[in-house]
Amino acid sequence: MHVVLGKHDLYMLMKEYLTNPLIFAFYVIGVFSASFHLGNGLFNFAYKWGITVSERSQTWAMVVGLLVGLGFFGISLGALIGFVM
């Protein structure tokens, strides 16, 4: 465990963990799963609560959910890669 000024250095700990390809892949899969869950949840929220009644509005909700999920995944993946670099 890395200790800086008497406290644990969690950044260096995560950097060390993420250099292992298996742990990195596990984190990427987890981030992808959370991103998919977020995007799908936004679409289902709009659908189940009657916000998107028409087929066109459901298509737009699906696109918005997809873009939000992909954006979340991209930002999170960038953070994970930043630990390794």
User: pLDDT below 50 — which residues of the chain?
Assistant: none
Verdict on whether the full-model pTM lies above 0.85:
no
Residues 73 and 85: their CA atoms lie apart, in Å, by 18
Sign of the dihedral defined by the CA atoms of residues 33, 36, 41, 47, in that order:
negative
CA distances from 7 to 1, 10, 12 (A): 10, 9, 12
Domain extents in the chain: 20-84
